[in-house]
Amino acid sequence: MRIRTLFVLPLLAMPLAGCLETRGEQAAVGAVGGAVVADALGGNAVTGAVVGGAAGYFCKDLKVPGCKK
């Protein structure tokens, strides 16, 4: 169940990230999403927030599909 959640939640959040205009908004949504997923999987929410925020901030540079240019 946990592995499935790990893959499903980011897929559900990805379309939302594409709607955001600035890197700051994308980083904030990434941080919240990372914290929620980490906590749901029994991990450290702060670490999840840091990783998620970094992923949201750099999604344009990493050419993530759905991330606005």
- Tell me the domain boundaries of the chain: 2-57
For residue 68, what pLDDT band results from cuts at 50, 70 and 90? low
* CA torsion angle 10 5 46 33 (round to 10): 30
- Is 18 a residue whose pLDDT tops 60? no
Average pLDDT over residues 40-55: 87
Query: What confidence score (pLDDT) does residue 1 get?
Result: 46
Distance CA 62, CA 6 (A): 20
Distance CA 52, CA 56 (A): 6
- Is 42 a residue whose pLDDT tops 60? yes
* pTM > 0.75: yes or no: no
Given a contact cutoff of 8 angstroms between Cβ atoms, the answer to whether 54 and 30 are in contact is yes
Query: What confidence score (pLDDT) does residue 60 get?
Result: 81
